[in-house]
Structures are given as structure tokens and as C-alpha cells.
């Protein structure tokens, strides 16, 4: 019988003296990061959704499910924070991949900011990226320049799922591809999953693997296989208000949200009074969005199966998250603000804003061997800047000296370990935010600060007038943070 490569070191250990076995350090874990694009907090089955996501739910069943995890409100800034452990302005990615003429908004990762891939590569890991990059388009700033030995996918933002080129550049292993280089039956989500599975199957047996899988699903445009769309149509026939209420109820019933959790106010159209054609079009939009998640979940299943087949699954750190909240954008075949509000249940607002609807996202983490005591819910405030130092600690490496994040490894391994006491910060397109353990400060461009109780999940009651000292304290912390992280809100205001 041929043993999986990961079992060969174990067999060798069993042939030596017990004392030698006891003193041998454990093998460094493989690391798998799975990233969704523009998916809301409430879009997974394990987060209260009616969308079937059995494979992603497998991670929740043996891992840690976060309820107060935050990103940077937009795709490129979140990706920069994920791969560096820094706030995005500190590494040149305060906006998208366009140079805005300010140090914190260069549209590409600073060359002197080491990526997670570079750190792990230098420590002996094999490194690979399948999917969307969006951290620099020019030479010297592509994934193969920033630590990934293998890579295949979009270099810029999201694109047509069936024919991404020539509108968007697509690259593989150090070269740009042409439209004819993609197969006739190409579908982005399927290609990303197949690429990731292939990378696992062909990874060097004598090296741990770091695999970053950056799906473009369910970012618009709404495009999915008809076989995935049709079964979802009936789920949305009652309209967005009914679907949102059902998700919120499931979240409370499952314990994901507290019994006194608040739901952001939102005025939905009167569904029954809409013309039948408008209702049918809206239902199909949401069913297509859900189908994109179904396809992603199927791809995640294939990737997890590839891990099992390779023998690596038992010693792999797995993370699944979204890069920001759902988007209200509808101008380019999106599903619009009503369904995006459903996706962001119970939160207020959308992608690119610093209310929770823009920054609060799902995060699932499975540590090597699974969470002690089985699945659990983690409620402490955490941020995407924490993921790189967490991966580094599991790999036995020190965090970068300039890191803004903290490792979650102790908390992941022991629910009783103390959570970090700190304030988290945001800025995007002039929108600002700060969050500590008790209060959330937020403002839109040109508007005064608003203050919310951190337990007010829907951000329903502004406390700014009642608590001016808290506003002053958090606003002062925000200004100090901004000054130390190259934040210039005027630089990234949409022109």
C-alpha cells in the first residue's frame, strides 16, 4: 500500500525510540486561505442563510465561527491587510489598484512590505495563488513578484465569469494570457477551484504548502450555470423583506446572534405591489447571486477533498472569509440594495462604507486537528490584519516588526485565552470608523461622528450627543492612528 506523502514522516518517527518521538517538534502546518468577494455576513448556511453551503459549513462544524470579524470595507484594501498584517494605507493600498498620488494610495503593495507568501516562501513553504490578485498590475507588482511560486487568475478586479479577457488581465506563472488560452467552457469559479485542487495534488511532498484561493464569487456581474440558478428561484419569491426576517430569526435561534441583537432599519418596496415582471426579474437576480455562492461552495468542497486525498488535511490551518460586505451596486448587472441588505443581515449599509454592513464579515477558522472541544462561536472583535500574524505563528515564525495585527492562535486553541484589548480603525474614500470593546465610532464624508454601542449590531441608536466624551476619546485615537498610517481621507474620495 502506498502511503500519502504526509504520513511518511510519521512512519519514520514510529521506527525510532519513544524518547526521540516525544522530543520531535510537530510538522509545520499547511495553510489554506479561502476568500470570497463581496459576500455578505448572512450569505452562508452556517451564518443563517437559506443558500445551501454544505462544504463551507463543514468548516464551521469543526472550527471557530466569528461573529465580530471585520475587514477594510473594500476588496484591494482588505487583500493588502490579509497578506501583510498591516492597515492598507500603511502599505500603499488605501484604495484600489489606481495610483491616487499619495503614499498611502499608490494602487500597489509597497515593495518593502513583506507579504505572507514571501515570509512563508523564505521559511521553506511552497506558495501558490488561485484566483484574484488586485494588488498591483504593473511589472514587479504581480503575484509571481510577491512570493507566489505558482499563480493563475485575474490580476485586476472582478470580471466576466465566462470571458474575463480582454477586459481584465489574466495571468499564470509569470506571464499574461490571451483570451484563446482559456478553454471554451471556462467559468471563473470552476477554474479557480480546479487550479487550487491541482496545486494541492502537485505540491512538493517535502514542503508545507501555503495556498491562497481568492474567488471572485459572488461579486457582480451576476453569472452562473442555469442548473444552479433554477433550484433557487422559489427561495426568493416572497421578496427581500421576508428572506431577511427569516435569516435574522435563524441567526438568533442558532445562537450566532444574541437574543437582543438589533436589526438595522431598512425600507423595502411593497413586494406584492410590484409588477409581476419586476418581481420575476428581482427574484432571478437574487437566485443567480445565490447560485454563484453554490458554485463557490462546490469548489470549496473539491479543494477540501483534494486536501484529504493528499494526506495534508489533518495538519492544515484553514480560513474562510469574505473581503467586505455585500454591495448595493446595480449599474453593472448587480442585484441592488434590497437584496444586498438581505446579504448583510443584520447590519446597516454596504460595501465601501464603514458601518458594519461594509466591514463585518464571516470568518471560519479550522486549526490543525480541529478546534478543541468541537465547533464554537467566537465573539471577540477581530480584524483581517490579524490573519497574517496568526498564520506566521502557526508556521513557527515571528510577525513582521511593523505588523498592526495580533495573532489569534492562542484564542483559537483555547476559548478562555484573553482576547486582545485594543481599538480597530477604518478609512475608505473619506469614510471613517473606530471600534473598541464598548463603542463604535463612524462617519460619512462631510458628516459628524456617530457613536453606537458595540452590542447594537444594527447600529440603530446614535449615542454621540449623549456621550460626547466617548466621541472625543475615540476621535482622538482615530486621528493618531491616521497620522501614523499615511491616511489622507481626501486622497481617496471618489472623483
How far apart (Å, rounded) are the C-alpha atoms in residues 125 and 117?
8
Residues 6+ apart with CB under 8 A from 100: 94, 106, 107, 491, 492
How far apart (Å, rounded) are the C-alpha atoms in residues 216 and 161?
8
Question: What Cα–Cα distance (Å) separates residue 411 from each residue in 198, 377, 417, 420?
Answer: 32, 11, 5, 9
- Which run of H or of E encompasses 35? strand 30-36
Active site residue 46: no
Question: What Cα–Cα distance (Å) separates residue 92 from each residue in 76, 107, 112, 327, 389?
Answer: 10, 6, 11, 24, 19
How far apart (Å, rounded) are the C-alpha atoms in residues 411 and 398?
17
Residues 6+ apart with CB under 8 A from 70: 359, 360, 361, 381, 382, 383, 384, 424, 426, 435
How far apart (Å, rounded) are the C-alpha atoms in residues 323 and 39?
8
Count of alpha carbons within 13 angstroms of residue 184, beta-carbon side? 0
Strands 150-154 and 126-131: parallel
Q: Where are the beta strands (DSSP E) in 298-456?
A: 316-322, 360-366, 376-378, 382-383, 424-428, 431-435, 439-443, 450-453
Question: What Cα–Cα distance (Å) separates residue 219 from each residue in 215, 272, 399, 442, 492?
Answer: 9, 28, 32, 25, 22
404 closest CA partner among 12, 136, 89: 89
How far apart (Å, rounded) are the C-alpha atoms in residues 488 and 239?
41
Residues 6+ apart with CB under 8 A from 36: 215, 217, 218, 293, 296, 320, 321, 322, 323
How far apart (Å, rounded) are the C-alpha atoms in residues 50 and 231?
12
**CA 114 to chain centroid:** 20
- Of 75, 95, 219, 383, which one is the catalytic site residue? 75
- Of 70, 95, 134, 338, which one is the catalytic site residue? 134
Active site positions, annotated: 75, 134
Amino acid at each position: 500500500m502506498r502511503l500519502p506523502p504526509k504520513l511518511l514522516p510519521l512512519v519514520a518517527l514510529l521506527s525510532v525510540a519513544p524518547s526521540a518521538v516525544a522530543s520531535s517538534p510537530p510538522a509545520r502546518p499547511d495553510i489554506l486561505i479561502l476568500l470570497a468577494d463581496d459576500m455578505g455576513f448572512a450569505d452562508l448556511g452556517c451564518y443563517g442563510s437559506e443558500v445551501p453551503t454544505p462544504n463551507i459549513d463543514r468548516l464551521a462544524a469543526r472550527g471557530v465561527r466569528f461573529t465580530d470579524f471585520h475587514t477594510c470595507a473594500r476588496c484591494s484594501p482588505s487583500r493588502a491587510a490579509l497578506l501583510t498584517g498591516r492597515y492598507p494605507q500603511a502599505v500603499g493600498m488605501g484604495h484600489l489598484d489606481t495610483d491616487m498620488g499619495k503614499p498611502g494610495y499608490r494602487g500597489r503593495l509597497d515593495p518593502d512590505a513583506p507579504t505572507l507568501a514571501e515570509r512563508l516562501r523564505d521559511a521553506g513553504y511552497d506558495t501558490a495563488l488561485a484566483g484574484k490578485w488586485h494588488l498591483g498590475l504593473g511589472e514587479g507588482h504581480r503575484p509571481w513578484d510577491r512570493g507566489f511560486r505558482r499563480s493563475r487568475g485575474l490580476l485586476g478586479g472582478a470580471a466576466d465569469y465566462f470571458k474575463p479577457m480582454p477586459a481584465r488581465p489574466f495571468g499564470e506563472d509569470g506571464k499574461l494570457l490571451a483570451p484563446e488560452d482559456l478553454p471554451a467552457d471556462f467559468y471563473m469559479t470552476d477554474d479557480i477551484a480546479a487550479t487550487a485542487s491541482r496545486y494541492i495534488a502537485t505540491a512538493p511532498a517535502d514542503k508545507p504548502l501555503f495556498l491562497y484561493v481568492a474567488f471572485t464569487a459572488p461579486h457582480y456581474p451576476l453569472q452562473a450555470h442555469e442548473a444552479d440558478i433554477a433550484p433557487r428561484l422559489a427561495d426568493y419569491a416572497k421578496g427581500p423583506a421576508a428572506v431577511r426576517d427569516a435569516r435574522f430569526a435563524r441567526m438568533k435561534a442558532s445562537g450566532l446572534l444574541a437574543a437582543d441583537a438589533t436589526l438595522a432599519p431598512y425600507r423595502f418596496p411593497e413586494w406584492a405591489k410590484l409588477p409581476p415582471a419586476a418581481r420575476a426579474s428581482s427574484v432571478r437576480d437574487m437566485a443567480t447571486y445565490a447560485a454563484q455562492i453554490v458554485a463557490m461552495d462546490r469548489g470549496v468542497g473539491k479543494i477540501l477533498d483534494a486536501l484529504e486525498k493528499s494526506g495534508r488535511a489533518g495538519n492544515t490551518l484553514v480560513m474562510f472569509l469574505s473581503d467586505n460586505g455585500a454591495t448595493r451596486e446595480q449599474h453593472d448587472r448587480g442585484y441592488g440594495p434590497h437584496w444586498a441588505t438581505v446579504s448583510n443581515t443584520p447590519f446597516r449599509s454596504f460595501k465601501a462604507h464603514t458601518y458594519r454592513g461594509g466591514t463585518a464579515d464571516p470568518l471560519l477558522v479550522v486549526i490543525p486537528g480541529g478546534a478543541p472541544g468541537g465547533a464554537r462561536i467566537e465573539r471577540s472583535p477581530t480584524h483581517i490584519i490579524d490573519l497574517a500574524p496568526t498564520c506566521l505563528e502557526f508556521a513557527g515564525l515571528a510577525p513582521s516588526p511593523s505588523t498592526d495585527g495580533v495573532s489569534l492562535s492562542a484564542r483559537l486553541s483555547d476559548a478562555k485565552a484573553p482576547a486582545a484589548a485594543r481599538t480597530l480603525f477604518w478609512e475608505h474614500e473619506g469614510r471613517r470608523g473606530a471600534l473598541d470593546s464598548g463603542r463604535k465610532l463612524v462617519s460619512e464624508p462631510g458628516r459628524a461622528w456617530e457613536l453606537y454601542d458595540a452590542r447594537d449590531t444594527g447600529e440603530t441608536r446614535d449615542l454621540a450627543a449623549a456621550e460626547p466624551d466617548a466621541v472625543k476619546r475615540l476621535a482622538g485615537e482615530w486621528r493618531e492612528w491616521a497620522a501614523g498610517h499615511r491616511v489622507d481621507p481626501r486622497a481617496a474620495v471618489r472623483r
